[in-house]
Structure 1
Amino acid sequence: MSLMHRVGWRRGILALAVISLLTLSAIQVLSDEPEIALMIGEPWEDMRQRSSAAIDPAIPGHVSFNIPKSDARLRFIDPQYGFVTPPARFFVIIYNKEMIISVRMSPQIEPLLLDDTLKVVLDLQDQLRSAGWTPIRIEEDPPFADTPQWRAQLRDVNKGGTSYWHAEDKFQVMLVVHRFKDNKRPTEERYLITLALAMPWTNP
């Protein structure tokens, strides 16, 4: 093997090693993210024991809610209709007599720019579609899309947008996007996303 070939071979091995380390680091970061892993209708304590994000116990016999003690992503673990959100700062889990009945959250850490907002919402919609969720009420509230019409609607502080999804008659997701006045960035257009998850509460 010539000197040039040996140098090229060593560089190739080094490049593969760097790529492997970066991949392992990315996997480690993802696995280290606190998450709430739950099912609608399951016992609260099952969710607590399964989740890596800390959250308080339920109050026996009450209808109430708790929030995770840190930023956390939602992992909805239904074997057919599951999906995962980005980490959230606003994250409320509601229970009735120690059984989980609904989730309301903003799948973001801070108000986002419009491009980033659409990226999050479209990824969530893609996950729902892939898992077999169906958009409903599409004449009044069609799914979000990255189009000039949708961008103009979301920029309008009086409009925003909403999209509804059903998993048969088992679950419903509502996605809402609206303009948000961020006092930390008063000159920027920022947006909030709301995700609600529960048993169906509207008709298709």
Structure 2
Amino acid sequence: MAIRKAGWRWRITGAMLTLAVMWGGFVAIRPADQVVLTIGEPYEQVRLQSRSTLPIATQDNSIDLHVKRPAALRFSDIQYGFVTPAAKFLSIYADAHGYVRSITLSPQVETLPLDATMAILLDLQNQLQRGGWRPILVGRHPPMMDTPQTRALMRANLAPQTFWLAGNKYQVSIDVRRFVHENRPADERYLITLQLSGPPLMEDRPNE
């Protein structure tokens, strides 16, 4: 009897291990989540065309329609489109008629070291420039460059920002903040925030 019970235990254990391996393989080959949208699209259309955990919109949650699992953003405007890395925080605001009006995300799944943060910032800005976006308010908020001065601002947690316009259609703001763990003051970690919306747009003031 004891031998028979032990045999069943081994079979159950083997089955569980097989399921674990199969699940791991599924996760490995499953396409990464991606939210696909343009500003002004119906939210339900965005939800259906995206591969994500975006919820069904209700009267209670339309101001914060956020993903439950990390997802990249693919802004699908033909001229001004761009793609971000996967974001753990990604939230859409839809108006009372169900149309997407803005999106806020941090294009990362965790706070990142300075070098990795800078790489994402530069890639995002390069995509904007290639797509015809124009930086504004450059007197006080120039595009972020990988320079000692920019890194010093980031290390000092002075929250450098940059602002961009896409014709008369869209605007983007990008900022970065430093997070310091009280037990690891030398561990530099950073969080990028990108906000995308449509009109009314900011006005460019070349001297600001």
Task: Mark yes or no: TM-score above 0.5.
Answer: yes
> Structure 1 CA distance, aligned partners of 2:161 and 2:120?
14
- Report SS of the residue matched to 1:32: coil
Kindly provide the amino acid, as one letter, of the partner of residue 155 in structure 2.
R
> CA separation of 1:117/1:65 partners in 2, compared to 1, >3 Å: closer, same or farther?
same
> CA separation of 1:83/1:183 partners in 2, compared to 1, >3 Å: closer, same or farther?
farther
TM norm structure 2: 0.79
> CA separation of 1:56/1:130 partners in 2, compared to 1, >3 Å: closer, same or farther?
same
Partner residue, 2:50: 51
Partner residue, 1:93: 92
Partner residue, 1:175: 174
> CA separation of 1:147/1:175 partners in 2, compared to 1, >3 Å: closer, same or farther?
same
> Structure 1 CA distance, aligned partners of 2:59 and 2:195?
24
Aligned residues: 176
Partner residue, 1:37: 36
8 Å contact 1:61–1:96 — kept in the other structure? no
Q: CA deviation at 1:107?
A: 0.3
Q: CA deviation at 1:69?
A: 2.2
- Report SS of the residue matched to 1:181: strand
Kindly provide the amino acid, as one letter, of the partner of residue 145 in structure 1.
M
Partner residue, 1:202: 202
- Report SS of the residue matched to 1:120: helix
Kindly provide the amino acid, as one letter, of the partner of residue 101 in structure 2.
I
8 Å contact 1:154–1:160 — kept in the other structure? yes
Give the CA RMSD over aligned residues. Answer: 2.1
> CA separation of 1:78/1:185 partners in 2, compared to 1, >3 Å: closer, same or farther?
farther
Kindly provide the amino acid, as one letter, of the partner of residue 108 in structure 2.
Q
TM norm structure 1: 0.80
Q: Residues 28-60 of structure 1: CA distance to partner in whole angstroms, max 9, x if unpaired? A: x79811010011011011101100112111125
Compare CA radii of gyration and give the structure with the larger one. 2
8 Å contact 1:75–1:84 — kept in the other structure? yes
Partner residue, 1:75: 74
8 Å contact 1:111–1:182 — kept in the other structure? no
8 Å contact 1:135–1:163 — kept in the other structure? yes
> CA separation of 1:76/1:86 partners in 2, compared to 1, >3 Å: closer, same or farther?
same
- Report SS of the residue matched to 1:110: coil
> CA separation of 1:74/1:65 partners in 2, compared to 1, >3 Å: closer, same or farther?
same
8 Å contact 1:38–1:47 — kept in the other structure? yes
Partner residue, 2:133: 133
**Structure 1 alignment gaps of length 5 or more:** 1-28
> CA separation of 1:61/1:153 partners in 2, compared to 1, >3 Å: closer, same or farther?
closer
- Report SS of the residue matched to 1:151: helix
Q: Residues 63-101 of structure 1: CA distance to partner in whole angstroms, max 9, x if unpaired? A: 522111210010000000000000001111111121100
8 Å contact 1:94–1:103 — kept in the other structure? yes
**Structure 2 alignment gaps of length 5 or more:** 1-27
8 Å contact 1:40–1:101 — kept in the other structure? yes
